[in-house]
Amino acid sequence: MAEAITARVFRYDPDQDAEPRFQEYSVTVDDDTSVLVLLNRIQQEMDETLSFRSFCCGLQLCRSCLMRINGKRRFACITLVKPGDQVTVEPLTYPEGHIKDLVASITEEERGET
């Protein structure tokens, strides 16, 4: 059964914002919805200005969806949320390499390619 959860999402555009902030969204999810699907719903249905890497292999191979989810380094494509959860999503690195919102430059070391 679909229910709304609260998603706290890191927002910061260095070209426009003085300080980073968290924005809360109430998002309807089904049982076991990935964080990547959650972010896509926010962007497509609520806030088209949200930036994140939406392309993803879904297999943890491309590592483009690495983020800090509830304080831990996780893959958004396989990290699941369910009704009743609260989730906080941040870029993997900040302030070093920050581009916009959840998009950050990821070094080869962070990608595990060294």
Neighbours of 73 (CB within 10 A): 10
CA distances from 48 to 4, 7, 38, 101 (A): 19, 16, 13, 12
pTM of the model: 0.85
Question: pLDDT value at position 57?
Answer: 60
Structural domains in the chain, sorted by start? 3-111 (3.10.20.30)
Q: Where are the alpha helices (DSSP H) in 30-107?
A: 35-41
The residue that leads in pLDDT, 1 or 5, is 5
Question: pLDDT value at position 59?
Answer: 57
pLDDT, tens digit (0-9, with 9 covering 90-100), for 61-112: 556 788 999 999 999 999 999 998 999 999 987 777 788 999 987 654 454 5
Alpha carbon distance 109, 40 (integer Å): 27
pLDDT, tens digit (0-9, with 9 covering 90-100), for 36-48: 999 999 999 999 9
Task: Locate 11 and state its tokens.
Answer: 């927002």
Reported as a pLDDT band with limits 50, 70 and 90, residue 30 is: confident
Question: pLDDT value at position 56?
Answer: 65
Q: Are strands 86-90 and 66-69 parallel, antiparallel or unpaired?
A: antiparallel
The residue that leads in pLDDT, 49 or 53, is 49
What would the mean pLDDT of 5-28 be, rounded to a whole number? Answer: 95
